[in-house]
């Protein structure tokens, strides 16, 4: 089982880089068509000047631009940058994307009303990432994260998809709120934080809402 999990995690890493051109197909397949809906579940919480960390193939970027919100993106993957730019260009939308790391965001302080990340890896809880997100937010700005989704339906394909998510660590265990240890990291970085489980069709997502209240 450990070998399978390790191989699948390696595949997901390739999927975000060398095989980025297959990302949409694989994400839609393993999530049974729900991946894009999970990503766009953040839309009601995003306002003002928005920074997306880890914009991937650019679905949320496009949705925000279509709502006429000033949105920027940062991602470390050169291949994903290509996919996102191509998607935005095809829709006739201007791309404001840059490559960089979440632990050292290439933006001035206090310039964004909202920072958002959907399905990031463990880097999102790195104290440096949290401190940087707090730095670029205006006072009372919000950091919105969807880190996990669970497929909860009982059909055979749903059970298989849920198993794949579980063994790869994409959705470990049963749906549950944000652990206390992670909450503490947000607080140390200058956030007030709350989390909630949101039910969607045959699935649940974890939504984190962190408000910048002070300098870390």
Sequence ranges of the domains in the chain? 2-212
What are the pLDDT digits (tens) for 170-207? Answer: 666 778 888 999 999 999 999 999 999 999 888 899 99
Average pLDDT over residues 204-215: 91
89-92: long-range pairs with CB below 8 Å, 24+: 91/62, 91/65, 91/66
What are the pLDDT digits (tens) for 87-143? Answer: 999 999 999 999 999 999 999 999 999 999 999 988 999 999 999 999 999 999 999
CATH 3.40.50.150 for the 2-212 domain, yes or no: yes
pTM of the model: 0.87
Cα dist from 195 to 37, 58, 79, 143, 211, whole Å: 19, 25, 32, 12, 12
């Amino acid at each position: 089982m450990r070998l399978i999990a390790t191989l699948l995690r390696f595949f997901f890493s390739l999927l975000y880089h060398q095989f980025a051109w297959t990302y949409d197909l694989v994400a839609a397949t393993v999530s049974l068509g729900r991946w894009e809906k999970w990503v766009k579940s953040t839309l009601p919480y995003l306002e003002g000047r928005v920074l997306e960390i880890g914009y991937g193939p650019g679905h949320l970027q496009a949705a925000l631009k279509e709502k006429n919100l000033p949105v920027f993106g940062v991602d470390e993957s050169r291949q994903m940058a290509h996919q996102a730019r191509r998607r935005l260009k095809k829709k006739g939308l201007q791309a404001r994307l840059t490559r960089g790391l979440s632990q050292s965001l290439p933006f001035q302080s206090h310039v964004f009303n909202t920072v958002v990340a959907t399905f990031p890896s463990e880097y999102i809880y790195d104290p440096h990432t949290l401190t940087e997100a707090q730095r670029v937010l205006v006072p009372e700005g919000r950091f919105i994260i969807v880190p996990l989704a669970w497929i909860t339906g009982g059909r055979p394909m749903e059970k298989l998809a849920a198993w794949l998510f579980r063994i790869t660590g994409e959705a470990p265990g049963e749906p549950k709120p944000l652990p206390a240890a992670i909450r503490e990291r947000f607080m140390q970085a200058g956030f007030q934080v709350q989390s909630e489980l949101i039910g969607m069709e045959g699935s649940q997502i974890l939504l984190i809402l962190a408000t910048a209240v002070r300098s870390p």
